Amino acid sequence: MPTEATAFGLHDLSVFLERAGLLGLDVVDLVNSPLIEWRGGGPSAWSAVH
C-alpha cells in the first residue's frame, strides 16, 4: 500500500526512504528515481527555508 509523506529537502526524503528500508541511496539516485513522483517542481524548486 503506497504512503504519502512531505519532504522539505532531499535530506528529509533520504530519511523517509531509509526508515522504509531503502539504504544506500545518494542524491543523484533520489533526484532521478522513477519511483519518486515529484510534485511542485521537486528539489530544484525547493527554497532553503520551509
Neighbouring residues of 7: CB distance < 8 A, sequence distance ≥ 6: 13, 16
- Cell readout for 12 is 528529509
Contact at 8 Å (CB) between 17 and 25? yes
Mean pLDDT of 45-49: 64
What is the rounded distance in angstroms from the CA atom of residue 9 to the CA atom of residue 49? 10
pLDDT digits (tens, 9 = 90+) for 6-38: 777 888 888 888 888 888 888 788 888 887 888
30 in any annotated domain: yes
Domain span holding position 22? 10-45
41 in any annotated domain: yes
Give the total number of structural domains in the chain: 1
1 in any annotated domain: no
The pLDDT value recorded for residue 47 is 65
The answer for 10, left when phi > 0, alpha when psi is -120 to 50, beta otherwise, is alpha
Q: Which amino acid is located at 49 in the chain?
A: V
17 in any annotated domain: yes
19 in any annotated domain: yes
